[in-house]
Amino acid sequence: MALQLLTLLLPAAALLVGAGVALLSVAQLSGTQQEMLGLLPYLLVIVAGTLGVGFKRGRVLLAALNLGGAYLLIQTSLQTSLARPDNYVLFSLLSLLLPLNFALIAWYKERGVLTWVGCARVVGVLLGYAVLFALKQSGELAYWLPSLPTSMIEMAFAQTFLSDAAAWAFGVSLLPVLLSLGLRKTHADAGILAAWGAALVMLVWFDQAMISSLFVSAALLALSVSVVQNSYNMAFIDELTGIPARRALRDKLATLGKQYTIAMMDIDHFKKFNDTYGHDVGDQVLRMVAAKINQVRGGGKAYRFGGEEFTVVFAGKEEHEAEPFLEEVRQTIANYPMRIRGDQRPKDNETGKQRRNESSESEIVTVTISIGAAHKQDIHANPDAVIKSADQALYQAKGAGRNQTVISTQPKVAEPKPRKSAARRSKRDYARR
């Protein structure tokens, strides 16, 4: 889980670090370059918003509008000193609105973009900034300063511009942002966390030149990248097993050289397993098998071909070189004792761990796979022909008794079925039924 979260956060973190590094040298930019940098966030709001609408990622659109509304308010109304009463009141209110909007956005469920719920959320985000802008233009905010609570006047940290109230707002808003990331584990949530962090840095060191342009741009890029990453995962990563899907395999096949081996794998008696235990347990089997195949050594790359079929590609290897690594995977799966638990599954991990040690709470089954492999030869016009040869070897493995590896040039003879020991008679062995 920690590695998954780190993978999600890495691109966004890199963008924010890049913005911090760029801040050190922004003073060296010419006037024209600084003006172009000031316009960049507007362009990125359009990019991130368009991606959010196009890929039906409403929370990305809302986060982009939240940043865009704040940035527009800063550029049009906060370009003079905060010593002015109206500017200070506006900055204080903005410091509360920005993080609280992120808290709501993080907690929202995706309800579409062009729906009444989606449109209401868009209006809700933009309305707060429109009200602040109207109040600033009316000149009313200057008279609000004496009535501000002490928490909005005293600074939370020395030499910064974040009030105690704003610090509390950011602290409270961080909880739903982190919870959403931990529970959903999506790229969009990583982008929202990056936007929250960028807003915090921008407001804490608000007096730094071009800080709003740099950090808002970095956050908007993180949101845009999150949509691209999510779309890539939908297209190239199998949702159930988490390994590359068939489309990713097609891309891999297009890059192979003249020497490679393709192995086709199939779970033995998978339909009977589904009929006996149900599709939920069948999905667990698929995930387990995929995880073991994904650990293949020897430079192999695993893919889910479809259904209960998997593919492993060995670039630069012939089948006799790949065979030991395929056999290792087959034996690992065959020797893995998979426990099938009853319907009364515990809700917490500790209880589940205790029950897994009780034979009355679970049944052990053996899952096996059959493997067929073929390497590129002159008779193969393309990778599809190699896959066909590997499929033929797979059929031979199944016809010879299953739970074995057959290579296309040297098919194996089926081994005699071993007798079950007394210790294994209580287990259901789907490889030998």
Which of 148, 189, 168, 44 is CA-nearest to residue 95?
168
Distance, CA of 129 to CA of 73 (rounded, Å): 7
| Given the residues 154, 239, 308, 323, the one annotated as active site | 308
CA-to-CA separations, 8 to 227, 244, 279, 300, in angstroms, rounded: 12, 17, 30, 25
Phi, psi of 376 (to 5 degrees): -65, 125
Token duo for residue 412: 């194996």
- Taking phi over 0 as left and psi of -120 to 50 as alpha, with beta for the rest, 401 belongs to left
Distance, CA of 59 to CA of 335 (rounded, Å): 45
- Taking phi over 0 as left and psi of -120 to 50 as alpha, with beta for the rest, 243 belongs to beta
Q: Give burial (CB, 10 Å; 0-12/13-18/19+) of 120.
A: exposed
Question: CB within 8 A of 327, min separation 6: which ones?
Answer: 405
Which residue in the block uniquely carries the two structure tokens 């430079």?
299
Confirm whether 328 is a catalytic residue: no
Catalytic residue IDs: 308
